[in-house]
Chain A
């Protein structure tokens, strides 16, 4: 039995449908991420799970038990809020002890457990400080410690890293993963940052317009996006419009508008569909002066239109003969000065047939 089950949940605000018939199931101990642009319904869904809001249709089950009518304080679910919502009039210690006091745990036991919790999140010795005296990273750790101290079944995190600077984010991500594995509590993590989602999650649900577009492990979300939205939202992607010509068990032949025929793999063919888009990650596109003769490769001649030097990689925009553009991401692996292809230079671009995914509209 899954730990959390969301069954056909819908939430409307007037004419606007924030969550549209969403069904998800989350297992115990899982790090599950709701990923999507702002306004996609992920925060509304989180509030429905926490109990701050009630669904217009469908149900939320925790451990097989229907949660409808149970207020947030009655659910074995805690939340780390985006702003952290630390109580400004309480010390770090009192903030972390708050859920235990609400549960009427004996004072002596509270003291011990708070101490352990502070050690877990590396806040030992800061118990007497007040939230206003802490850095952003420390506040985030207090919020996590407070939400975890009485071991809820499920922890919800609403963009908890949004307020941190980029450098700090990375180390906090590692801390979060380690902590989650250590305590073994399922996390439902909301973010609009796809890098964060890919780095942290066991599974990701990509949301758009209140619907779940795809639920999968990070590598498949990135490597085999199910539709145009997922391909475009996660990472960088060439999206080339085209029509399917023929398909067999191994690969399909696609006629790309203004480029020509290529081979690619396709998702299962919906009846009657021919139009679609070829999703091709830039880092899977090779660029070179000499033509390759490999039969597994799709190859086209073009000219460098522009390039962006990004340090570890260089992004080339190559214009093909008929005006279509393809982006290629080339690692700057060579030692010394990298030699760049100059704008206007004739090059060829190539990619393996199974690097491209044809997604039906």
Chain B
């Protein structure tokens, strides 16, 4: 009897938190996606009254609108593509970094991990604004790049307000979420396994591909999920760094709610975004499970 009370005492608050801030809002959104828009935006009343009595005022039309215009499908696919690119770049950059931290001396490890999470100490928007300066036409970096291109006989490029800037921003913001799970799993790896592989004839490259990497796959999957899911739905970075060509689905959702005040359609897009992210995550975890005992 007492054990059961203790369980509720520990599990109750987080459960209540999830119900209030996750389950209920999701439910409200699901219901909103079937409702009609109000005459000045927002939502029309869910019930209406006529001679026959009270009726529910619901529609499936909001969902049909997703496919009425190819625009939305295109933005979805573009967001998916940017999120995948971001995940891939983060993995390629984060893996060597995590490996380096995990294999450095115990004392310097804590410092290096601290450096990885240091950006979190400053405001997200300030960090993204910094990239506006770095990628802007007056920046030393872009100047040097264009100098090199001119020297090679190529046209100068513009970075800010392009899809390239969006992906750079996405990679920058999400990198720590890839580094940390990779570091956590690489740091736990038994160094004796690498000794054994080397002793049994494996060179450095084979040791990595046959021992280190396969054993780090849970960290790769965790990092990929932590990067992919938020990158898929983000709006702030394309808002600040992307031009008209870099719009992502998060921007469209934000526009529906704030500018167009079309709450039902905004809800529909949100639900489609969430469902596709969940489907991709489930798909990857199924593949992941099959590849491991």
Hey, which bits of chain A sit against chain B, CB under 8 A? 50, 52, 71-73, 77-79, 81, 83, 85-89, 91, 98-99, 102-103, 130, 146-147, 150
Contact = CB atoms under 8 A, between A and B. Distances in A.
* Residue among A81, A86, A150 with most chain B CB within 10 A: A81
B110 interface: no
Interface in B193-245: 193, 195-203, 206, 210-211, 214-215
Contact of B199 (A50, A88, A91, A130): A50
Contacts of A86: 196
B215 A89 contact: yes
B192 interface: yes
A79 B292 CA distance: 27
B215 A83 contact: no
Contacts of B11: none
B259 interface: no
Given A85-B190, A147-B199, 9 more contacts: A73-B199, A73-B203, A79-B196, A83-B190, A86-B196, A88-B193, A88-B215, A89-B292, A147-B200
Counting chain B residues whose Cβ lies within 8 A of the other chain, the interface size class is 10 to 19
A85 to B, nearest CB: 4
21 contacts: A52-B195, A71-B198, A73-B198, A73-B200, A73-B201, A78-B199, A78-B200, A79-B195, A79-B196, A81-B192, A81-B196, A85-B192, A85-B193, A85-B195, A85-B196, A86-B196, A87-B197, A88-B215, A91-B293, A103-B201, A147-B200
Which 7 pairs, one residue from A and one from B, show the smallest C-beta to C-beta distance? Answer: A102-B201, A85-B196, A85-B192, A99-B200, A72-B198, A79-B199, A72-B199
B197 A98 contact: yes
| Interface residue SS majority, chain A | loop
A99 B201 CA distance: 6
A291 B238 CA distance: 104
A321 B35 CA distance: 107
Contacts of B197: 87, 98
B191 to A, nearest CB: 9
Contact of A146 (B198, B200, B206): B200
A45 to B, nearest CB: 16
A88 B190 CA distance: 10
Contacts of A77: 199
B97 to A, nearest CB: 23
A86 to B, nearest CB: 8
| Interface residue SS majority, chain B | helix
Contacts, number: 59
A102 B190 contact: no
Contacts of B193: 85, 87-88
B36 to A, nearest CB: 54
A94 to B, nearest CB: 10
A218 B58 CA distance: 91
B92 to A, nearest CB: 22
Given A79-B196, A87-B193, A73 B202 contact: yes
B214 A89 contact: yes
A72 B192 CA distance: 13
B194 to A, nearest CB: 9
Contacts of A99: 200-201
* Residue among A52, A73, A91, A103 with most chain B CB within 10 A: A73
Nearest to B211: A87
B185 to A, nearest CB: 12
Nearest to B203: A73
A225 B78 CA distance: 80
A81 B193 CA distance: 9
Contacts of B203: 73
Nearest to A133: B293
Given A88-B215, A89-B214, A98-B197, A83 B192 contact: yes
B262 to A, nearest CB: 50
Nearest to B193: A85
B209 to A, nearest CB: 12
B215 to A, nearest CB: 6
Contacts of A98: 197, 200, 202, 210
Nearest to B202: A102
B195 to A, nearest CB: 6
A72 B206 CA distance: 14
